């Protein structure tokens, strides 16, 4: 950090939706000074020209990635495609930088799993053991001590926060878990693709990657930690015609039908600033978390009493990406965890 206690931050890949959200949050963070925003394709262009909401807040121009410029910062965020951060992280860590990767490069601990799901060998498998999975509600103390944080994916964040309390308490079976999740189209990124153009998705609703999604091994890895053993999970994502938001409906078979599920969730998250357990009978809405770092949860027990159903909603670009990255940065540098993330979301 600089002599006046300000964190010098760089964002690598600041042209996508996640990068833009990260810039928005960092620009108003009282303990951060943005030093570098990189983009090869937009080098020389003003950030505010691409994202006019940042006019008057981010006075930087995009520049090509320069290892020396990045290494002079205290923290480097990678809002880049999978496979980018793992090429650059070793040099930055050696220079004393903290690294927060918003892609999937360091989420899976097994390099063979990485290669299976991402189609290429991992560039620095030795760092997979060191990287801390950046779900503060599970790894808060490890994050405080970390050099390298693997920011969780959006679907895995919602699924983990919904199911972890039940698995940790042993009140549900670790086999037969189901996560039925829906995401807005911003989750597909900003790069043009016919299948995610709004004219193609408006008025429609579909599942995708039902045979196996890249987030599946990440979710099972996290839930297995909570359960203390391997879990069996079916995960099916869906695309819905809205810009932001994830709604995950999570099912688990009860081991203990008499368990007080409401109290269990309330107790688990009582001290968590960004998890809101709603009153019994509630049905959380994605619009209630838009633009915030909150996850809102509600638990139900359908007739018959053999299933627990947990509903989770997050903003995929905030708690599912950029906001959680800022939450992790706050922990890394000993700041209040909520700093720069306190605002309520807009309605309507």
Q: Which active-site residues does the annotation give?
A: 154
As given in the structure block, the two tokens for residue 236 are: 């099916």
And the tokens for 206?
């579909």
Element (H, E) at 225: helix 215-227
Beta-bridged to residue 37, according to DSSP, are 11
Give the start-end residues of each E strand in 199-262: 206-207, 233-239, 246-253
Looking up tokens 């994050």, which residue turns up? 143
Q: Which helix (H) or strand (E) holds 91?
A: helix 85-94
End-to-end Cα distance, the chain:
39
Q: DSSP characters for 178-212?
A: EEEEEE-GGGG-SS--GGGSHHHHTT--EE--TT-
Q: With CA atoms as reference, report the closest residue to 98 among 319, 273, 335, 320.
A: 335
Rounded Cα distance, 298 and 283, in Å: 6
DSSP 8-state code for residue 344: P
Q: Which of 171, 113, 103, 105 is nearest to 310 (CA)?
A: 171
Give the integer Cα–Cα distance in Å for 161 and 287. 18
């Amino acid at each position: 950090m600089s002599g006046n206690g300000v964190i010098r931050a760089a964002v690598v890949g600041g042209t996508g939706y996640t990068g833009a959200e990260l810039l928005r949050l960092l620009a108003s963070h009282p303990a951060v000074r943005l030093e570098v925003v990189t983009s090869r394709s937009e080098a020389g262009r003003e950030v505010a020209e691409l994202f006019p909401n940042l006019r008057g807040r981010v006075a930087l121009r995009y520049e090509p990635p320069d290892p020396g410029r990045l290494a002079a910062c205290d923290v480097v965020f990678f809002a880049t495609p999978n496979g980018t951060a793992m090429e650059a992280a070793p040099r930055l860590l050696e220079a004393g930088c903290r690294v927060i990767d918003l892609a999937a490069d360091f989420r899976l601990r097994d390099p063979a799993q990485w290669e299976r799901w991402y189609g290429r060998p991992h560039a620095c498998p030795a760092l997979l053991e060191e990287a801390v999975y950046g779900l503060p509600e599970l790894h808060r103390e490890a994050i405080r001590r970390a050099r390298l944080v693997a920011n969780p994916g959006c679907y895995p964040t919602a699924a983990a926060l919904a199911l972890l309390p039940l698995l940790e308490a042993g009140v549900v079976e670790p086999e037969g878990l189901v996560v039925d999740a829906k995401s807005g189209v911003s989750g597909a990124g900003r790069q043009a693709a016919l299948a995610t153009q709004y004219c193609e998705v408006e008025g429609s609703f579909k599942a995708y990657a039902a045979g196996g999604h890249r987030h599946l091994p990440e979710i099972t890895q996290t839930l297995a930690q909570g359960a203390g053993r391997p879990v069996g999970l079916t995960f099916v994502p869906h695309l819905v015609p809205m810009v932001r938001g994830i709604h995950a409906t999570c099912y688990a078979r009860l081991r203990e039908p008499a368990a007080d599920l409401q109290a269990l969730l309330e107790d688990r998250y009582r001290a968590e600033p960004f998890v809101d357990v709603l009153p019994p009978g509630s049905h959380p809405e994605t619009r209630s978390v838009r633009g915030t770092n909150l996850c809102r949860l509600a638990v139900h027990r359908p007739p018959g009493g053999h299933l627990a159903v947990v509903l989770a909603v997050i903003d995929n670009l905030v708690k599912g990406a950029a906001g959680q990255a800022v939450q992790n940065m706050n922990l890394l540098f000993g700041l209040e965890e909520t700093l720069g993330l306190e605002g309520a979301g807009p309605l309507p």
